[in-house]
Amino acid sequence: MSSLEIKNFGILGYPVVHSMSPQVYAAAFKAAGLKNYTYIPIPIQPGKLMLAVEGIKGLNFRGVNVTIPHKTTILKYLDAIDSDALGIGAVNTVVNDGGMLTGYNTDVAGFLAALKEANFLPEDCNAVILGAGGAARAVLWGLCKRRAEFITIGARNPQKADALAKDFMQYGSVEGLDWNSEQFKDAMRTADILINTTPLGMFPNVDDMPPVDLKLLPEGALVYDIVYNPAETKLLRTAKELGYPTLDGMSMLLLQGKESYRLYTGKIPDMKVMTKTLEKLLRGK
C-alpha cells in the first residue's frame, strides 16, 4: 500500500469514547510515514451493527477493530472468518479486501506473545482462569492451542463457568467451577499460572480484585492480569507482595494491536512508539 493512498480505519463498539486505540494507531501510522491513514472511533449501538458493516464496505474502510458489545454478533455479517476467531467465537479485527470482509481475533496472538515474552511456556501447564466472559474465550483458546495439561475456569456464576468449559472440552481438559468452592481452591494449589480475565480492578475501581486467596498458589506460579488500566492492579500488587512473578495486561494489548496492524498493512508497527503512546495516555487518564 502506498503512503499516498487514503486509508480509513476505526474501532466499532458502544461506547468507544474511552478507547485509546485511535491515538495508538495514529502514532504508529505517523511513525511509518503513512500520513493519509486515519483511525476513528465509531460508536454503534446494538441493533445497528449490520448497517455499520455495510458502511465499512460503502466507505471503503480498509479495516476496523471490534469491541464490546459486537465481538460475537459481527460474525454473521462477515464473508470469511479466521480459524482462531471461529474457535473463540468472537472477532476483534475485520479486514476489508475489495469489499470482502474477513474477521480475525488477534487477542489470542497477543495473549500467547505476552506469555512468550515473559518466558512462560503454557504447554503441559495447569492453568486457572478467573472469569467466564468474552475475554476468557481468547485465553482459553490460546491455552488449548498450546496444549495446556488442565484448565480450570473459576467464576462467580458456576453455571456460566461450566457452560464455557463445555464449549472448549473438545479442544482440551477444561472444567468450570464456583470460585468459592473447595474444588476450585484445590485447583489453585496445583496451578502453574493464574489468569484474571474479569474487569475487577480496572480503572476507576482500582481497589477491587477477584475474591481468591493467592496464598493457595504454589511457589513460582505466574499471576497474569489482562487488565491494562492500571498497569499494576490490586491483584498483581498483592501477588508481588507474596513473592509471585506477575504479568500485566499492557503486553497483551500492545501485541494484539501489533497483529491487527500487520493484518491491515502487511507490515510490523514501531512497537516503541505504540508503547510510549499508550503509557502516556494511561498516565494522563
Which active-site residues does the annotation give?
71
Q: Are strands 100-104 and 93-97 parallel, antiparallel or unpaired?
A: antiparallel
Neighbours of 243 (CB within 10 A): 8
Cell of 112: 500467547
Helices (runs of H) and strands (runs of E) counted in the chain: 10, 12
Pairwise CA distance, residues 30 & 39, whole Å: 11
Provide φ and ψ at 281, rounded to 5°.
Answer: -65, -40
**Any idea how long the chain is?**
285
Cβ-Cβ contacts under 8 Å for 83 (sequence gap 6 or more)? none
